């Protein structure tokens, strides 16, 4: 989903009592926002004024009934992205788009052999890292509750909580045995960008995986490109597979990091207002670039893909993208719930309407059912030689006209045979070379 950074503030404690406690007032609050912002001025042929009278005539005993009426009214607009979010769902959404959550900074996984929970890694400068929790640590108990009985989702819910509150984790480590740490929850910046250098024969590749376009995604991408540049990569693979989108401006900012010139995206609102976003001369790299996409690459992912593909800046590999060509504004409502409203449609540089159509890759390569199942069970194989789409991206990079090849640095295995041979010749001119020794 592409979410425009237009979040209205929650009402203060001095807000009128009717707005905070009256379900009918909440219903009208939603109606007013849709009336003022919804992209389709015809409201999908719904008489929106009449709909208001219908909604306000309802007898709502509690918020649950009001929520049901709101959802039904929004459904009639025929737009799946204009939707109401109960307080708990709105909290999850705001965490995703802000790129932050309240917790201790651990990423969890399940060991397929033992079904036990373990720590995959810890977030930099998080309470977990500062407490010395390491990748591979087994989680035995969370707040004295057995972790063996929890799913990952249940464990994550147990770990989350208000900033400043306490949590205890009982862990096990091979060289340490069972131990306990007490942590204070903090506001954690979620890593939207993960990257690494991969030596593919004589090509040094910067592999970047972007999970979502959060408010921190652009700064994290800038850091990734800068670090990979210092490591002298000769090309990039940008993995957007399964990326559902996020903030519109994050996608524009990231496009500008790869694109020296050209249009990125344009948006048209209900009044016909046309906004254009273009490169601004702040590109960080001009090295060859391949983008990986699939049917789960949506919205902001499609903005970035469309901009770089249509400006001939990148080759796109994978399958056709999701096809979501709309922009939403997100509002915080008076009772802590939320509302996302479609306020505009967006178009790539060519002006093509991608809604419900998606973006077709330059190199189409689908995964078999077996490969998709393997990805689900072993997500770490993404971006490896066991990943067919990644392998095809490497092939594309190798055949790129401006591809630069770097001979891989030799692995440090002690004194190399060639150096030893030359040394022996210098010390003993009569020494004759013999076959290289075996390495076992």
Q: Which residues are catalytic?
A: 299, 324
Other Cβ atoms closer than 10 A to 313: 20
Q: Under a CB-based contact definition with an 8 Å cutoff, are residues 161 and 141 in contact? A: no
Residue 276: HSE in the Cβ half-sphere, 13 Å Cα cutoff? 8
Per-residue tokens: 224: 């990734």
Per-residue tokens: 45: 């042929």
Per-residue tokens: 264: 């990125």
Which residues, 6 or more positions from 278, have their beta carbon under 8 angstroms from its beta carbon? 261, 262, 263, 264
Cα–Cα distance, 60 to 386 (Å, whole number): 56
Cα–Cα distance, 155 to 153 (Å, whole number): 5
Per-residue tokens: 43: 């409201």
Bridge partners (DSSP) of residue 110 are 117
> Shortest CA distance to 319 belongs to which of 395, 245, 372?
372
Cα–Cα distance, 366 to 361 (Å, whole number): 11
Cα–Cα distance, 310 to 291 (Å, whole number): 13
Cα–Cα distance, 213 to 191 (Å, whole number): 11
Q: Under a CB-based contact definition with an 8 Å cutoff, are residues 213 and 190 in contact? A: no
Per-residue tokens: 283: 């590109």
Cα–Cα distance, 29 to 37 (Å, whole number): 13
DSSP three-state, residue 60: coil
> Shortest CA distance to 44 belongs to which of 2, 91, 76, 12?
76
Per-residue tokens: 21: 């406690």
Per-residue tokens: 135: 């990748």
Cα–Cα distance, 333 to 337 (Å, whole number): 5
CA 85, 358, 3 angle in degrees (round to 5)? 30
């Amino acid at each position: 989903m592409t979410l425009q950074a237009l979040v209205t503030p929650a009402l203060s404690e001095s807000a009128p009592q009717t707005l905070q406690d009256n379900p009918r007032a909440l219903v009208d609050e939603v109606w007013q926002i849709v009336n003022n912002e919804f992209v389709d001025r015809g409201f999908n042929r719904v008489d929106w004024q009449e709909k208001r009278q219908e909604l306000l005539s309802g007898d709502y005993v509690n918020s649950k009934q009001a929520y049901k009426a709101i959802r039904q009214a929004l459904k009639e607009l025929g737009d799946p992205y204009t939707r109401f979010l109960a307080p708990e769902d709105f909290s999850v959404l705001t965490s995703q788009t802000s790129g932050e959550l309240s917790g201790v900074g651990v990423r969890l996984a399940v060991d397929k052999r033992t079904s036990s929970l373990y720590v995959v890694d810890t977030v930099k400068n998080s309470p977990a890292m500062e407490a010395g929790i390491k990748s591979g640590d087994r989680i035995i108990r969370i707040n004295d509750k057995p972790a063996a009985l929890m799913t990952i989702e249940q464990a994550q819910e147990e770990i989350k909580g208000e900033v400043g509150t306490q949590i205890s984790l009982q862990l096990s480590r091979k060289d340490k045995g069972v131990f306990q740490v007490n942590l204070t929850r903090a506001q954690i910046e979620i890593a939207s960008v993960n990257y690494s250098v991969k030596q593919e024969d004589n090509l040094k590749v910067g592999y970047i995986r972007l999970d979502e376009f959060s408010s921190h995604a652009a700064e994290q991408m800038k850091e990734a490109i800068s670090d990979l540049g210092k490591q002298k990569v000769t090309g990039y693979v940008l993995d957007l597979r399964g990326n559902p989108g996020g903030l519109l401006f994050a996608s524009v900012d990231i496009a500008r990091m790869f694109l020296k010139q050209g249009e990125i995206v344009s948006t048209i609102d209900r009044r016909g207002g046309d906004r254009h976003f273009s490169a601004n001369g702040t590109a960080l790299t001009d090295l060859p670039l391949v983008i990986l996409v699939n049917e789960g690459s949506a919205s902001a992912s499609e903005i970035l893909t469309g901009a770089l593909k249509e400006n001939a800046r990148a080759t796109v590999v994978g399958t056709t993208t999701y096809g979501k060509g709309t922009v939403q504004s997100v509002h915080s409502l008076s009772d802590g719930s939320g509302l996302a409203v479609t306020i505009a449609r967006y178009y790539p540089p060519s002006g093509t309407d991608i809604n419900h159509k998606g973006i077709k890759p330059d190199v189409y390569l689908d995964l078999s059912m077996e490969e998709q199942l393997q990805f689900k069970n072993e997500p770490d194989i993404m971006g490896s030689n066991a990943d067919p789409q990644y392998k095809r991206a490497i092939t594309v990079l190798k055949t790129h006209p401006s591809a630069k090849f770097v001979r891989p640095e030799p692995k440090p295995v002690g004194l190399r045979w060639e150096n030893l041979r030359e040394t022996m010749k210098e010390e003993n001119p009569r020494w004759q070379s013999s076959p290289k020794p075996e390495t076992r």
